[in-house]
Structure 1
Amino acid sequence: MRKLFIAGLLAVCSGAFAQTETSNYRPGVTPEGAVYFLPKTVLRFVVRVEKTTYTPGDFCRYAQRYLRLNDVEAEASTTHKLISMTMGTYGEADKAKGYAVKFNAKTSACNISLADDGTLLAVNATARKPEAPVPFAPAPKPAPVNPRQYLSEEVLAAGSTAKMAELTAQDIYDIRDSKNYLNRGEADYMPKDGEQLRIMLANLDRQDKALTQLFTGTTTKDTTEYVLTVCPQPGMQKQVLFRLSQKLGLVDNDDLSGEPYYISVTDEQSLPAAAPETEGGKKKKEKEDGIYVNIPGKITVNIYKGATLLDSFETSAAQYGYTELLSGELFNKRYTTHLTLNPATGAIDKLDAEQPE
């Protein structure tokens, strides 16, 4: 963010002037004064996708025979699924809403704060900082366990996979019997206190889980966060927001291997009509003193998975409203006016005036 300290405020060019050659506007100080933009609202979607990877165990084909475990898969697989989606907003400079600000010695000294892209943030006030997205931090994973370190010498010396599976299954049953004896207080060597009992049971659980994985396989889950941005416009209906493939995860919007998720935007038309361009049958002056701000409209954003409504969000968007002029009378020398704008919509967050003593 940079600040422009201006010795006097301000004659603002009319909307008609702002519409000409706005793409060539360069925000900041000019010989005549300064240039600023009002923002348009951009939707930011945070999509989290969970990847599940299954790796079969070495003895998976013997799981039903020796451990009575059904439906144990013998083939590796990878699947993806959507686990959460949230929506936020931020503002970026609307090049169709650029306004030239001229110095005017009749007004009080003024401090204008602009964002890096030239968006107006505040006048005579500390600008509200846009909320930065919180970076995604996946939960730490436990260290993987190598089940082979728990295999006995007899198992390792077995001449076939089937025999190794049989002996490993017998070790698993022995471990479970030991746990039952400890829990019942019937073990040959009972621990002296509760802490020793807890440690012994934890070790037996760890061995049981590791050896059982040789039959059931292992499943790992990883979560990936994707950030998608969309600038909503009137008439946006059933546009592809993203595609999700069960095998490949998030894919390009034109990749038909992914199932489409659509976005639709509805203008709630919650605002009255904008003020007319004429007063008393006469056209308004082409130049008026003051500061332009946005009056955003309300929209509803619907997300669909195929034809099914998945989620719905409500927010304000600058491009669904209109622009209003704050009179230059607010900035004359009788007052010190403080104006703070919402960085996502360009609407007034706070407006107050201090009358000098």
Structure 2
Amino acid sequence: MQFKFKLVSNLLILLFIASNLSSQKKSPTSVEIKKTSEVINPTEQSLSYMLPKTTIVVEIESEKTIKKTGPYYRYSQRYLNLSDVITEDCEEWAIKNIKITTKGTPNENQRYSIFSTGITSALMINLTPKGIIKGINLNEKAKLHRQINKTDNLDMIELEDVNFDHISLHEDLLYKTSTAAMAQEAANMIYKLRNNRIDLLSGDLENLPPDGEAYKTVLEEINKMEKDFISLFAGKTISLTKKQTFEITPDPLSSYSNHVICRFSTQKGIVDAMDITGTPIYFKLDAEEFNKLENKQLDTKKDESKNGLFYCIPASAKITIVDKTKEVTNKVVDIAQYGQVVSMPSDILNQEGIQIRICPVTGALISIGNK
């Protein structure tokens, strides 16, 4: 009898301990998100994130063309019957392409603090390196962000840097005392190279290359030499491209009907917006009408429910780039700061395994689901 009493007592004790452990494990969960500017101690007991501003990135690709006259251009018609030759040194810029993209930049005015108790999905927040929210429970692998700096030597190549010094001139040509005689000798060299190519292709050379690869090498060298010698008459044309980016973070309180992002000069290329030697390149923004969500709650009632995750409903806008008076390109984009910030119900984050995706460029809600 005594044994049975002890057994029952031990079972009761175990049940009591188990119930206590169970109650500790199932502590109540709670999530509340507040604007950080309204929090007294935002650095304590909270997680922080920001919503983005949408920045418009305009990439302009321009091309610099350098034309250099050949030293014998005056004799092009006489010795080679060439009429389409460069007769004057010049360099000229032209815009080749303009591309519009967007990126997210942190909005310090839209910083929020997450307060939670218990085990909730709010603890599994995903941020960009700059603190912009990307979502909850995304299980993204950490990526090493490495910035590659490209060296652009375009501005180091000028008209005076272009010359014909690399051309191997024949000894007979160098001994000539007049430009006309040198031009005639250079023309003779071109005709010799052409005859050698004909003999090579027809198999009439005394010493043909031993194999196909050597044959190809010899033919390429003849073509290169001919091109080099022709450039002494026709001149040289060198084209180089350069890409420059301009970033604009639109302000809803500002107008962008004729905003000058830079100027363009055919002599200098892309120049500063204040440099009046160039013609203006305009950035225009036309925001589409956005109907904000309105709370229809009576003033006499106070909504005491807690806020969940804040996100954006972005507005659309048409971006147009105009070169002086000509429209070059346009694109419709979503912009966070032209839209509205709203919050989810806090109960969504009370659950474990909830997966939420938010666009780090516009702050828009992409999806809610289970992990």
Q: TM-score, normalised by structure 2?
A: 0.76
Q: Does 1:311 align with 2:332?
A: no
Deviation at 1:217, TM superposition (A): 1.9
CA distance in 2, matches of 1:214, 1:108: 73
Cross-structure match for 1:48: 61
- SS at 1:257 equivalent: coil
CA distance in 2, matches of 1:196, 1:108: 69
Match of 1:225 among 243, 247, 261: 243
* Aligned residue runs from structure 1 range 78-89, under 5 A: 78-89=91-102
Aligned CA RMSD, in angstroms, stands at 3.5
Deviation at 1:322, TM superposition (A): 0.7
Match of 1:92 among 71, 90, 105: 105
* Aligned residue runs from structure 1 range 33-44, under 5 A: 33-44=46-57
Deviation at 1:61, TM superposition (A): 2.6
CA distance in 2, matches of 1:149, 1:219: 16
Cross-structure match for 1:261: 281
- SS at 2:50 equivalent: strand
CA distance in 1, matches of 2:163, 2:216: 20
CA distance in 2, matches of 1:58, 1:8: 85
* Aligned residue runs from structure 1 range 290-329, under 5 A: 290-329=308-347
- SS at 2:77 equivalent: helix
Give the residue type in structure 2 aligned to 1:262. Answer: Y
Higher radius of gyration, 1 or 2: 2
- SS at 1:254 equivalent: coil
C-alpha spacing 1:107/1:74, structure 2 compared with 1 (3 Å): closer
* Aligned residue runs from structure 1 range 104-183, under 5 A: 104=117, 110-126=123-139, 149-183=167-201
More strand by share: 1
C-alpha spacing 1:127/1:195, structure 2 compared with 1 (3 Å): closer
Contact 2:98 2:328 (8 Å CA) reproduced: no
Give the residue type in structure 2 aligned to 1:10. Answer: V
CA distance in 2, matches of 1:156, 1:195: 33
More helix by share: 2
Aligned length: 332
1:101-133: CA deviation from partner (whole Å, max 9, x where unpaired): 334459666222333433222233336999999
CA distance in 1, matches of 2:95, 2:225: 34
CA distance in 1, matches of 2:272, 2:262: 7
Identity of aligned residues (%): 25
CA distance in 2, matches of 1:99, 1:109: 13
CA distance in 1, matches of 2:166, 2:131: 62
- SS at 1:117 equivalent: coil
CA distance in 1, matches of 2:326, 2:297: 49
Gaps of 5+ in 1: 1-6, 139-143
Q: TM-score, normalised by structure 1?
A: 0.79
C-alpha spacing 1:38/1:282, structure 2 compared with 1 (3 Å): farther
C-alpha spacing 1:148/1:278, structure 2 compared with 1 (3 Å): closer
Contact 2:122 2:136 (8 Å CA) reproduced: no
Deviation at 1:59, TM superposition (A): 1.6
Contact 1:156 1:164 (8 Å CA) reproduced: yes
